[in-house]
Amino acid sequence: MKRMITPFVTILFALVACQAQMPDAGGTNPPEDYEEIEFEGGEEYAFLESIRLVTSEGTVYGVVDEETNTVIFRHLPMGTAIRSSIIELVDGAALLTPLDRYNGNWPEEVKIVIEKDGAMSSYRLKLADYVGADDEFYLNDPEWSLEWSEEFNTDDIDWSVWEYCPRQDAEWANKMVPREDLVFQKDGNLEVWAKVADSGNFPYVTGGIWGEGLKSFDLGRIDVRMKKDFAQSFWPAVWMMPDANIGWPDGGEIDIMEHLNYDPIVYQTVHSYYTENVSKNDPIDHSTTIVDTREYHIYSVEVFEDRLVYYVDNKPQLVYQRDDTKEGQYPFRDYDFYMILSAQLGGNWPGEATGKDLPAAMYVDFVRYYAPVAK
């Protein structure tokens, strides 16, 4: 099965560049307590040209912002994912901070010091999508390794792994509009909105993003922490589709969380050729769980070679077992799947939209992908 590597695995390295003239520094040795010193300076002391990180997924390239002296990465969840670093400096500069000491255990924030011709520059490197083992919601399970995380902690959506959901004829997408006020990041959440339209030919508009063709996931576990507003016919969903040229439902669909209107339950559902054309009950293809969706909860799915397992707050709700005697019953090992985060409104299932209690949104705290640990 293929595995897609995102070219810019993310982290935000907030680099605060500064300098100071160090008498008798000799161009090689900083003072013993240099980690406690903030060196002053300006753009002319930007001694860092580039930085790359070697991870279990491949080489991650950072993008240097010359105006703010920042290097942007994202989605690196833990130091254990970083095996080594490759840094390029301007001619004559030397790195005084041994970064190899962080390999295999890269912390949330690192300060490095660079020297050139007796002048010092300091940079602070910070992981925006950092998730440490002490994180309250980290899945501390030896069978899983956190390989990728989207924490929505930066100012803007990472368009290298997401794009707006396009408007389509399907009920879930027939009100989609690619607008910044419908999908944006704020206070550590992705907010995805449904609203009454203020103009145009359609009475309502909704937002959504997906990773089709940009970021997809192999066998493993997805955790999504989120909450949502209540509104009439509001139908937000967290779900996955195959990143392949195959029609629905033959390639499968993994619905991690769907909620309707003011219901006291959430739905987690399996879709395939078999469930849509043969049987939804042999085996059972869905679960319903009592949840107050106005509060944060974690919705999860584990995708194995032989089964899907759905969770709410790490409590199993449904096990959907592969049965090779049933045609088209289990396509989930055949393709990588991408995420969809959509604020749907109206349709046969939730009922037609009336505008009651709009605008309404879902608030996604994070999306985390865990890979199975090889045994």
Residue 88: the pLDDT is 93
Contacts for 83 with CB less than 8 Å, ≥ 6 apart: 54, 55, 56, 103, 104
**Long-range contact list for 60-63, CB < 8 A, 24+ apart?**
60/8, 60/9, 60/11, 61/7, 61/8, 62/8, 62/11, 62/13, 63/8
User: Per-domain residue ranges for the chain?
Assistant: 12-126, 144-372
CATH of 144-372, one of 3.40.950.10, 2.30.110.10, 2.60.120.200, 3.40.190.10: 2.60.120.200
Question: 12-126 in CATH: which number?
Answer: 2.60.40.2340
Residue 170: the pLDDT is 95
Classify residue 114 by burial, with Cβ atoms within 10 Å: 0-12, 13-18, 19+: buried
Residue 66: the pLDDT is 66
- Burial string for 147-186 (b: 16+ CB within 10 Å, else e) reads bbbbbbbbeebbebbbbbbebeeeebbbbbbeeeebbbbe
Tens digit of each residue's pLDDT, the chain (375 residues): 333 333 333 334 433 344 444 333 333 444 555 666 666 545 677 888 888 888 877 787 777 766 666 777 788 887 777 888 999 999 999 999 888 888 888 888 888 888 899 888 888 788 888 888 889 999 999 999 898 999 998 888 999 999 999 999 999 999 999 999 999 999 999 999 999 998 778 899 999 999 999 999 999 999 999 999 999 999 999 999 999 999 999 999 999 999 999 999 999 999 999 999 999 999 999 999 999 999 999 999 999 999 999 999 999 999 999 999 999 999 999 999 999 999 999 999 999 999 999 999 999 999 999 999 886
> What pTM, to 2 d.p., does this model score?
0.85
Residue 342: the pLDDT is 98
Closest alpha carbon to 57 in 31, 30, 75: 75
Residue 5: the pLDDT is 33
Residue 163: the pLDDT is 98
* Token digits of residue 209: 């993003």
One-letter identity of residue 350: P
Q: What angle do CA 267, 271, 277 make, to 5 degrees?
A: 125
* Token digits of residue 46: 């930007």
Q: Identify the bridge partners of residue 148 per DSSP, sorted by sequence position.
A: 369
Q: Greatest CA span in the chain, whole angstroms?
A: 80
Residue 355: the pLDDT is 94
